[in-house]
Amino acid sequence: MWFNGTELSMKAQRALRNEQVTVVTHCSGYAHCIYDEATIDPARFKHIDGRLRAFCSANLDMGMFANFLRAQTKYQKYMQFCKDCHGQARFVKAETLFSYEHGSDMRICDHTHEKLLEEVHDEDWYCCELPGRIRCDTLTEFLAGNKLDPRKGEDREKLVKFVQGIIPDPAKFAADLYDFVHIEPRLPGLDKKYVKSKPIEINPQWDRFQVIDYLESIRGENETADLAFYAYRDMTRCRWEPFIKAAVERNPVSIEAAKNKTAQENYDWLCSMPNESIYEGPRLATPDELANYGRGDGIEKAFTFANILMTKMPEEELQIIIDGPEVVVKNSKEWRFESAKGLQKQITLAKARIAITA
């Protein structure tokens, strides 16, 4: 699937081909591209690195070459396929044969290849070899006889000589083929300062609550386990400051939804939404999640409203008072919401400042 040359596979490869891998994680820890320290077991990291690099390279045979043609359609016009018909060779343009794949489960150069050839209409077959095109049966023999590795310069030279005279820029063709069958993932470097960390050892038989309890029990010994509760946004198990900072600085969707409304209209818009969080218990949704789902608890509405007000009036100080079921956003006015989260907190928001007093 990874190298089958379809549009979906090429999209899946795009990030790994073009971007730095930010983090590698394992139950023993992590390695991050920015930080010099890593908590992952170095032997496991090296193993993951090797396995990924092996996965990102493919052997070149006729099946892989067909996948390459499927992805790089510009080279199809230089290829032709053939079949035997009562002792006579018949030929079909590669681009024509590939067009028969559309809407079909059959594929060129796999176990369904012969059945695909049977689907080709008589008018698409030629009784003579097409000039200016490489016969794929000849190419198959060439690949089988040479066992080419496009990563090696001498093997690329063999390929260049084979297609020379047919493909206008054979060196570019060889380079494109090399790029197709080989991806060089940019992982965080192996040369890290490794800091031993307690591994995360989750029993697959545990239920959800056992997993949560276990992770909480090792928070003091494992940074990943600790940060998991911040990602989980259970506000009884983590400090509020990271959530608040993200809520009022990094939620552009709710800002966009509110940009043409007055403060009163935005308040009415939030109040018109069902007072139901997308998360159970003391977990909180972000303002953008509320805007996307169109519902939220009163605390979530309060932070969404604060995000909107601070964007429109950045110099103004806001207070958010959460007292069980009652939630109030205060500036020159009081804006009230209702909560079922059962939380208590008093928060002051001003430009570049977050203060929690209770």
pLDDT at 353: 81
Let me know whether 158 and 267 are in one domain: no
Count Cβ atoms below 10 Å from residue 4 Cβ, excluding itself: 16
On whether the pTM is more than 0.85, the answer is no
DSSP-derived 3-state class of residue 22? coil
pLDDT at residue 239 is higher than 70? yes
Looking at the structure, tell me whether residues 53 and 67 fall in a common domain.
no
- Please tell me whether residues 52 and 69 are part of one structural domain: no
Residues 302, 60: Cα–Cα separation, whole Å? 58
What pLDDT sits at residue 1? 63
Q: Choose among 215, 226, 212, 224: nearest CA to 26.
A: 224
What's the pLDDT band for 172 if we cut at 50, 70, 90? very high
H, E, C per residue of 103-146? CCCCCCCCCCHHHHHHHCCHHHCECCCCCCCEEHHHHHHHHHHH
Bridge partner residues of 37 (DSSP): 193
Q: How does pLDDT run across 33-75, given as a tens digit for each residue?
A: 999 999 999 999 999 999 999 999 988 899 999 999 999 999 9
Task: Flag whether 44 is in a domain.
Answer: yes
Same domain (yes/no): 68, 170: yes
Judge if 293 and 189 occupy the same domain.
no
- Taking only the tens place, the pLDDT of each residue in 3-26 is 888 888 888 888 889 999 999 999
Within a domain: residue 23?
A: yes
Q: How far is the first Cα of the chain from the last one, in angstroms, to the nearest whole number? A: 54
Exposed / middle / buried, residue 182 (Cβ in 10 Å: 0-12, 13-18, 19+) = middle
Number of domains into which the chain is organized: 4
What are the tens digits of pLDDT across the range 117-149? 999 999 999 999 999 999 999 999 999 898 888
Q: What is the pLDDT of residues 245-302, one digit of tens each?
A: 999 999 999 999 999 999 999 999 999 999 999 999 999 999 999 999 999 999 999 9
With respect to residue 1, please indicate whether it lies within any of the assigned structural domains.
no
Is the pLDDT reported for residue 85 higher than 80?
no
Q: Are 68 and 134 contained in the same domain?
A: yes
How would you class 107 by CB atoms within 10 Å of its CB: exposed for 0-12, middle for 13-18, buried for 19 or more?
buried
Scanning the chain, the segments in alpha helix (DSSP H) are 7-18, 42-55, 62-71, 94-99, 113-119, 136-146, 153-163, 170-181, 208-217, 223-232, 241-249, 252-258, 263-272, 287-293, 298-312
Mean pLDDT in residue range 220-234 = 93
Q: Are residues 52 and 190 in the same domain?
A: yes
pLDDT of the residue at 7: 83
| Nearest-angstrom CA–CA distance, 64 and 114 | 17
List pLDDT tens digits, range 320-355: 999 999 999 999 999 999 999 999 999 999 877 888
Task: Report pLDDT for 46.
Answer: 95
pLDDT score recorded for residue 35: 95
Q: Is residue 215, in this structure, part of any structural domain at all?
A: yes
So what's the pLDDT on residue 148? Answer: 86
CB distance 335 to 225 below 8 Å: no
The pairing of beta strand 193-194 with beta strand 334-338: unpaired
Q: Would 2 be classed as within a structural domain?
A: no
Regarding whether 48 and 20 lie in a shared domain, the answer is yes
Domain range enclosing 202: 198-232
Q: What percent of the chain stands above pLDDT 90?
A: 80
Number of C-beta neighbours around residue 262 at 10 A: 10
101 and 206 assigned to the same domain:
no
Whether 317 is covered by a domain: the verdict is yes
What pLDDT band is residue 2 in, cutting at 50, 70 and 90?
confident
In this structure, are 13 and 95 located in the same domain?
Answer: no
Quick one: tokens of 104? 């079909």
**Domain match, 78 and 222 both:** no
**pLDDT surpassing 80 at residue 87:** no
Q: What are phi and psi of 59, to 5 degrees?
A: -75, 145
Does residue 175 share a domain with residue 74? Answer: yes
Residue 53 lies in a domain: yes
